[in-house]
Amino acid sequence: MIRTSEEISRKTDELDELAMAYETAVIDFAAGDYLNDFYDFYKLKKRDSKLVPSPDGFEAELAVTCSANRYKPVYEKVLELFGAPKRTMIFEDEKPVVDELENGGRGLGPFFFIFYVMFCEYDDFTLCFISGTNN
């Protein structure tokens, strides 16, 4: 199912509003080499971490991202707005990326500590979930 960029952006904003209540930000990227888009978006310089397919399914990974006792509303909203992703990707070694997100580049607004970064691939775009806290 091909969606317009306006539709994707509108739905991502709606999802992000809910996810932020669970200390998780959601960003959409175009299909293809979304990892480079992600690095460029945050002006990250350390690019030695590689994505690997998630060993668990989307629901299990989102439970880790949003925390096991709070992920369900975000999970249900993702399915309602976008459906299930084709593939969930995580960083094999995300520490360099987390360090850069916390300390360099553009930073992440209200987040001072990053817990988890997860990508959900669809045919025509990729959603990025970043959880963290300012506590």
Instruction: Return d(Cα 45, Cα 48) in angstroms, integer.
Output: 9
pLDDT of amino acid 91: 92
Tell me which amino acid residue 117 is.
V
| 25 SS3 class | strand
Q: What is the pLDDT of residues 17-40, one digit of tens each?
A: 999 888 899 999 998 889 999 988
Per-residue pLDDT band for 121 (boundaries 50, 70, 90) equals: very high
Q: What was the pLDDT predicted at 62?
A: 92
The mean of the pLDDT values for the chain is 87
What is the predicted pLDDT for the residue at 53?
A: 94
The dihedrals phi and psi of 82, each to the nearest 5 degrees, come to -125, -20
Q: What average pLDDT score do residues 125-135 get?
A: 86
In this predicted model, what pLDDT tens digit does every residue of 68-107 receive, in sequence order? 778 899 999 999 999 999 999 999 888 888 888 887 665 6
**82 Cβ neighbours under 8 A, 6+ residues apart:** 11, 15, 122, 127
Question: Residue 43: what pLDDT?
Answer: 83
